[in-house]
Structure 1
């Protein structure tokens, strides 16, 4: 499966604990990554500065659903299940 261009749910909904250029402490859930462009593309895509967790994430029907709304819902629920939303 390929990412839906402009979705960016995986760059907004989940927390990222590793440092991101411009976000040295990572990012909390629900906060837009500073490395997203206005049209929701990653400025770090393909660069060594991109966090490993971002590079290892793969689009899937389960995670992305059939719409951006479904993707956000799934990832927000995953944060709740893993307890990361309280950090």
Structure 2
């Protein structure tokens, strides 16, 4: 557990360096899901979507968006820090 706690602590420090990552990766997709879920028309099943609602179809897209933004914004910062530390 010592190695894991050190890794979590190091990653938390990196996350504090770039707080915009939290906004783009966690807050924005969550707000988009809440807004889209609040619209009644998006929750109705659609025959063309195989009986799924538009909202249920859009959830994997939101997840992909969050992961891709994490890669685009956070990965360069992490790799730069690792390079500075000599990893």
TM-score by length of 2: 0.30
Between Structure 1 and Structure 2, the one with more helix by share is: 2
- Pair member with larger Rg: 2
Larger RCO, structures 1/2 (Cα 8 Å, 6+ apart)? 1
